[in-house]
Every structure is written in C-alpha cells, then in structure tokens.
Amino acid sequence: MLRLLLFALVLGALSVSGQELRLGIIGTDVSHVIHFTRILNDASDPEHVAGARVVAAYKGGSPDIVSSRTRVEGYAEQLRKQYGIEIVPDIPTLCSKVDAVLLESGDGRIHLSQARLVFAAHKPVFIDKPLASTLKDAREIARLAKAADVPWFSTSALRFNDVVTGMKAPNAIAVGVWGPGPMEEHHHLDLSWYGIHAVEMLYTLMGTGCEEVTRISGGDFRSGSDVVVGRWKDGRIGTARVLRPTGGYGVVVFRPGKIMQSPADFPFSYAPLVKQIVTFFQTRKPPVPNGETLEIFAFMDAAQRSREAGGKPMRLR
C-alpha cells in the first residue's frame, strides 16, 4: 500500500510540475504505435499533445497473425530510427523505465498475459482495442487490475471522434452505426477484432444498459455484412452494421421529430484519443468507465452467441 501511495504521489508531482511522463509501448505490430508516438514526441506536429513522451518499446508480435508478423519489425525499426525509441527485450524491463504503459499489441489473445506483467509493476495502462479476445479474459483483466489497484482503460479512437461526440443527444430514441468489420480467425469474439469500432460508437451514443442482442449475418467470413441489434432496458434500440472486408464509418441518430446523420466524408484523427490517454495517466481517472468496457464485451459475446444460434436473441451475460 505504501508503494502505491508513493507511486500516486510521484505521478501527481509530475503532472503538477509540468514534467513529461515517460511512456512505454508494448507491441509494435499496429500503426497506432507510429501515430501515437508522432503526436506525443514531435512538438512541431499540428496534432501534438504535450505532457507525455514515448521513450521505450517492447516489440512483442504474434507469428500466427499475418498483419502482426509482417509489421512488428518494421514499426519497431521506425520507432528506433525516426524517434530514438529504445527497444527493450521484455515487458518487466520496459516497465522499469517508464511511468505508464501503452499496451498496443494487435492480438487481443495476449493482452491478459501482457497486462498481468504491467499490473505487477503497478503501472497505469491504456489497453488498445481489443481489450481481449473473449469476455472471460476481459473480466480477468479487470479483476487483476482491481486487485493490484492499477488504473486502466480501453477504447476505440472513434469514441472521441468529433462527429460522434457532436451527435450525442439525451433524447435519442434510437441509434444506428456502421463501420468496417473484417474478421481474424483466431479471435473467438469476431467483432472484437475490428467491428468493435462500430460497437464503441454505438455505446458512445447509447450509453450502458443493453439487455438483449440479436445478430443477423449475411455472407461468409471474408465478405458480406452483419447487423447487430441491441435492445436497451429503457426500450431504446441500437444497431451496428459491420461491413466485410471493409467499408466506411457512419452514424444516424433518431430523435423525436428529427434525424441526424453523419457526413459522408467521415473525418478522423488520433489526437483526441491521445489527449484523453495523457490526461488519464496524469489523473488516474479513466475517461471510459471500466464497467462500460466490460458491458461492450458482454454485448459482443451475446452477438457471437446469437450468430452461432442462427440469429436467436441472446441476453447479455
């Protein structure tokens, strides 16, 4: 307990004094590691966010996922050459050099084992999407973090997109969202791989409280689309359409006597998310409640069970 108190005081002192927090990256197999480092480390960048700086990275990687094994070395080398990031051999070494951690591994299956080491080092952590590949692992991550008294949060960058936040309406009676939904064969919750972006947008606009999910699937693993319909306890309906192998993003919000729809040209920036991450590391207060993130995984778990049952409605577990 004394160690945790001292750690909190150190973070508070860094925040107050204006000194940069030292951040470490776990997993160099996704493009986020380049975008986040650019935004944090390059003061001349138009999207620069001050207050923290990436100083070290652990490559990680998953040899059975093509997008991971073909990118991990290249992104690591770019971090080293372009930004002077130290590449370290393991996660404990990384944690010994930083104040907080960006867990960026693209493979949700390994997030639990990697997060376990971060919690043991008592470092606050942002866990990039997907938090995990199963509802069970997501809940175990939350349990371990609580036991270690380590703050964490996980989200898609779409949650803080200006278009999405600008369409929040307390009197919305229904919301529809859509986005890309390519799948990855090793992830049991297939929506967690990429469809989670659409689900995150849905929860940003609907909030928590979904009770039942129905999923209608069209096409096969590599093409087509699925429609996921959630019924909230107050009677509102939220739908998420995932497009395979790819597609644009969009939102429509139904209000009494008014319909709001996002522009066809859906703007995107990682800077709003990075700003939230830095604030989280400074305050230890997650911008997305952990309970909401776990409900999102329960939502995707229900959608998976519905798909496997041929479209039968499933209640959240």
Mean pLDDT of all residues in 63-86: 95
Give residue-wise pLDDT tens across range 232-249. 999 999 999 999 888 999
How far apart CA 75 and CA 34 sit, in angstroms, is 7
C-alpha dist (Å) from residue 160 to 10, 169, 184, 217:
28, 15, 25, 28
Non-local (6+) Cβ contacts of 187 within 8 A are: 108, 109, 130, 133, 193
Q: Are 182 and 225 in contact (CB under 8 A)?
A: no
For the chain, the average pLDDT equals 93
The pLDDT confidence band at residue 15, using thresholds 50, 70 and 90, is very low
The pLDDT confidence band at residue 18, using thresholds 50, 70 and 90, is low
How far apart CA 8 and CA 23 sit, in angstroms, is 16
Judged against a pLDDT cut of 60, whether residue 63 lies above it is answered with yes
CA dihedral defined by 46, 201, 27, 87, rounded to 10 degrees? Answer: 20
Give residue-wise pLDDT tens across range 166-189. 999 999 999 999 999 888 888 988
Same fold? 2-128, 157-268+297-315? no
Judged against a pLDDT cut of 70, whether residue 8 lies above it is answered with no
Sign of CA dihedral 284, 289, 291, 296: negative
Q: Residue 94: its pLDDT value, please?
A: 98
CA dihedral defined by 214, 289, 180, 127, rounded to 10 degrees? Answer: -130
Non-local (6+) Cβ contacts of 272 within 8 A are: 157, 160, 161, 162
Every domain of the chain and the residues it spans: 2-128, 157-268+297-315
Mean pLDDT of all residues in 203-212: 98
CATH superfamily of 157-268+297-315: Dihydrodipicolinate Reductase; domain 2 (3.30.360.10)
Judged against a pLDDT cut of 70, whether residue 13 lies above it is answered with no
How far apart CA 219 and CA 17 sit, in angstroms, is 55
Q: Domain 2-128: which topology?
A: Rossmann fold (3.40.50)
Cβ-in-10-Å burial (0-12, 13-18, 19+) of 224 comes to middle
Whole-model pTM?
0.92
How far apart CA 213 and CA 42 sit, in angstroms, is 43
